[in-house]
Amino acid sequence: MTTTERIGDRPAPAAPALELRDLSVTFRTEGGNVSAVDRVSLDLAPGEIVGMVGESGCGKSVTAMSIAGLLPDSARITGSIRLQGTELVGARDSVLRRVRGKEIAYIFQEPMSSLNPVLTVGRQIAEVLQVHERMSRRAARARAVELLALVGIPSPATRVDNYPHQLSGGMRQRVMIAMAVACGPKVLVADEPTTALDVTVQAGILQVLRDLRDRLGTSILIITHDLGVIADVADRVVVMYAGRVVERAQVTDLFAHPHHRYTAGLLSASPTPGVHAGTQRLQEIPGLVPVLSSQPDACTFADRCPAADTRCRDAAPPLAAVATATDHLAACWHPCPIPRTQPEEASA
């Protein structure tokens, strides 16, 4: 199976581990409804690492949380989320509980606050095993030690009795990963797993994720605003803006030829060694991600886009295959064919 075969809107040859179809999420708030995610579709093949990237507030975390029904009661979810064929949208709590931690597991951004401060890390890992694998306390603890070793924690037999505050940030995140992979989930959702960590620790964590994918065949959805992380681990990337998927492609393809103006903006806002070595200012995208009460039939990026015209404000561009590759989709009326390594005109 080559990677290109499982991409795009065509039916994939291997059944995807996770399928999102037209997923929309709206929150009821005191100030009215807020549309956070709009008709997002995405497949995650077995063993694939997909990166989801975008600015704060673009809906990437909401998408991630909606998968296992972790959003608050004020969220209204429509569309379809299928985990190996099981529909999760509107599923009963008992179904979701069986899936959570067992079939689909999460790693969150801030490992300090995501771990319970008053329970030992061993206990927190063992808990998952006791619930899903019906292990005894003793067996679960022994397995917890193995899992800590698996994610690269030194002297796991001692660390198992530590409390989160006794560990470093990187070790805490490894504990989160150990907890997440305890039951061998099919899908791992990592929501900004390295954002709170420094760069050297970050590389270690990403290596652990890659290893797990290789060893256990886990599909990983990694959510980040850091393009460096995407370039490092992801096979495929989904760019989100204001609740919509605006571009979807193989990582190498996207970095070489971004089609959506927003993607291009994101890429030129990241430093590239050699190009931005103190000689050139980074490009910023002016403005902020809008907060939408409903999704308009228009391109939501138009107000910040240098190429926007009336067409962009009159009709939402569909997510369609670009001319150069069938597995590269973009939702833009005026895609930019220019490689991003020549942004001199824009900066002049």
- Which spans of this chain sit near another protein (rule: CB under 8 A)? 68, 70, 96-102, 105-106, 108, 110, 113-119, 127-128, 131-132, 163, 165, 176, 179
**Beta bridge mates, 9:** none
Closest distance between another protein and the C-beta of residue 263, in Å? Answer: 30
Output 222 or 332, the one with its CB closest to another protein: 222
Fill in the DSSP letter of residue 57: T
Output 97 or 210, the one with its CB closest to another protein: 97
Closest distance between another protein and the C-beta of residue 104, in Å? Answer: 9
Output 176 or 237, the one with its CB closest to another protein: 176
Closest distance between another protein and the C-beta of residue 83, in Å? Answer: 13
Neighbours of 286 (CB within 10 A): 10
Q: CB–CB of 43/14 below 8 Å?
A: no
- What's the rounded Cα separation, in Å, for the pair 301 and 297? 12
Structure tokens at 17: 């581990």
| Side-chain half-sphere CA neighbours of 221 within 13 A | 29
Closest distance between another protein and the C-beta of residue 203, in Å? Answer: 24
Closest distance between another protein and the C-beta of residue 78, in Å? Answer: 22
Residues in CB range of 342: below 8 A, 6 or more apart: none
Closest distance between another protein and the C-beta of residue 74, in Å? Answer: 11
180 SS3 class: helix
Output 119 or 201, the one with its CB closest to another protein: 119
Output 128 or 289, the one with its CB closest to another protein: 128
Q: CB–CB of 89/260 below 8 Å?
A: no
2 burial level (CB within 10 Å; 0-12, 13-18, 19+): exposed
Strands 219-224 and 187-191: parallel
Output 96 or 142, the one with its CB closest to another protein: 96
